[in-house]
Amino acid sequence: MEALDLTKRPPRAPREQLAGLELLMLARTVDKVRATLPGGNIGPYQLSGFSSQLLGALEIAETELRGAIAQARDESDVVGWIRSRTDAAAFAAINAKLAERKIADRLGDAKWLARYPIALRLPPETPLIDMLDADDQEMFRERVSDG
């Protein structure tokens, strides 16, 4: 698969599915890993946080996923690779854990709030994964209006 430049567009939304695989953050994580391939640019994004939590829950090392993505022709190859290494019965519990954290859980973290000022403009009960989507939209709306 080709590398991505995440300074030109955000990774996919946290709730977007990857070829029907019902795992929160998976399509987004694949986009971020693609941005770390030669020729890519991860921009302001990182693989720590939700992406690393997802990979840990799936028991997949980031380096293994990067290798699979680099060798894949397309996303169906990546999905097949993930399916061959994971237990789909665990996906619902993984999703619940990823979706349970809310903005309210991070309001006491000044460093985090400096990184995500949008959190102060959203209801505290907003799931963090939904806040990430709102942050992407705001960041890229500003870049379009600046350009």
Predicted confidence (pLDDT) per residue in 70-83, tens digit? 999 999 999 999 99
Taking the C-alpha atoms of residue 60 and residue 32, their distance in angstroms, rounded to an integer, is 15
Q: What three-state secondary structure class fits 64?
A: helix
Q: What is the pLDDT of residue 141?
A: 83
Q: And the tokens for 63? A: 């380096």
Size of the chain in residues: 147
Q: Considering the entire predicted model, what is its pTM?
A: 0.93
Whether 30 and 99 have beta carbons less than 8 Å apart is answered as: no
Q: What is the pLDDT of residue 142?
A: 61
Q: What three-state secondary structure class fits 84?
A: helix
List beta partners, residue 41: 5
Q: What is the pLDDT of residue 145?
A: 47
Q: Which residues contact 126 (CB under 8 A, 6 or more apart)?
A: 102, 103, 119, 134
Angle separating helix axes 91-100 and 50-58, nearest 10 degrees = 160
Q: Which residues of the chain have pLDDT under 70?
A: 142-147
Say what the alpha-carbon torsion angle 37, 40, 45, 47 is, to the nearest 10 degrees: 0
Q: What is the pLDDT of residue 146?
A: 46
